[in-house]
Amino acid sequence: MKTLLEVFPPSKMRGSTVAVIYDAYSSAWQILFLFLKRAIEDGYFAVISNYSVPLRSMLHRCASVGLDAEDALESSKMAIIDVFGSRYSPLRTESENIFYLDRVEPETINPKIDIIYCGPLRDKLKSKKAMRMIYTLDGASLMLGEEQTLKLLNQTIAHKSIRFPDSTLLLPLNADMVSRRFVAWVSNVSDYVLLAKSWIREDHVKELLYFIKAPYADFEPVVYSLKVGRGEEKIMLKKLSSPEPGSPAE
């Protein structure tokens, strides 16, 4: 078996949009946090737009893969735009690299986030080493509606591809929370697509990770078994033969 980061080094995905699509019981949500951790270790500046969880929960999710988010924030290696806290909590965490919006409305949210990107984060994002994550697309769709979220996502990809062409955009998506149309659209606009499937057994959880899209001519889809462990390695992958379409993934 190989580690996730051996199979998918984030540096190979520079300048692209990467979607990780998973189901309700999958461990694959950790993949993108591992990408962020490695990127920060490699000198990237990371920005998380948080639509899904309280800030404290976000810090815990980072810690689950060994990423000390509080230290990364204090040392200006990472920033969090806390849309969730802006919408649902009257409390604000005072930190140089945690940002809030005065109001969360579909019509004005992207311009307000652009002000943060082009203001206090501008110099930090000038480097070719930048990684951005929308956490999560299903959280954004719950807050703003699916149609509005897709429109805003299209704007984000179009605008940032011009302003920050070498940055990487990470898109985590719980497919059980949104429509098939929403999933299909996210897959369509992404350069790389990883699809995780899980099955609950009596004594374990079985997970497969399908690498189904990449922007190079000789790409062939690949299937891996996914195991979650402890320590720095965290997620291990073993390459499998692709199951026939429609057959049980066993």
Q: How confident is the model over 99-120, as a mean pLDDT?
A: 94
Burial class (CB in 10 A: 0-12, 13-18, 19+), 126: exposed
Residue 210 placed within a domain: no
Three-state DSSP at 24 gives coil
Return the closest-CA partner of residue 195 out of 54, 23, 53.
23
Q: How confident is the model over 225-247, as a mean pLDDT?
A: 77
Whether residue 64 is predicted with pLDDT greater than 80 in this model: the reply is yes
Over residues 201-224, the pLDDT tens digits come to 878 889 999 999 999 999 999 999
pLDDT of residue 243: 52
Whether residue 132 is predicted with pLDDT greater than 60 in this model: the reply is yes
- Domain of 115? 15-199
- 30-68 burial: b if 16+ Cβ within 10 Å, else e: bbbbbbbbbbbeeebbbbbbbbbbebeebbebbeebebb
Report the number of distinct structural domains present in the chain. Answer: 1
Whether residue 245 is predicted with pLDDT greater than 60 in this model: the reply is no
pLDDT of residue 242: 54
Burial class (CB in 10 A: 0-12, 13-18, 19+), 72: buried
151: domain CATH number is 3.40.50.300
Residue 96 placed within a domain: yes
Residue 207 placed within a domain: no
Lowest mean pLDDT among 64-68, 163-167, 208-212: 163-167
Whether residue 247 is predicted with pLDDT greater than 50 in this model: the reply is no
pLDDT of residue 224: 97
Q: How confident is the model over 75-91, as a mean pLDDT?
A: 95
pLDDT of residue 126: 77
pLDDT of residue 231: 72
Rg over alpha carbons for the chain, rounded to the nearest Å, is 18
pLDDT of residue 93: 85
168-174 vs 130-135, strand pairing mode:
parallel
Residue 153 placed within a domain: yes
- Dihedral sign, CA of 67, 65, 33, 191? positive
> Is 20 or 12 the better-scoring residue by pLDDT?
20
Residue 19 placed within a domain: yes
Three-state DSSP at 225 gives strand
The span from the CA of 91 to the CA of 159, in Å, is 31
Q: Angle, nearest 10°, between helix axes 29-41 and 55-63?
A: 80
Residue 204 placed within a domain: no
Whether residue 106 is predicted with pLDDT greater than 80 in this model: the reply is yes
Residue 44 placed within a domain: yes
What confidence tier does 244 reach under pLDDT thresholds 50, 70, 90? Answer: very low
Whether residue 248 is predicted with pLDDT greater than 70 in this model: the reply is no
Return the closest-CA partner of residue 164 out of 26, 47, 20.
47
> Is 186 or 126 the better-scoring residue by pLDDT?
186
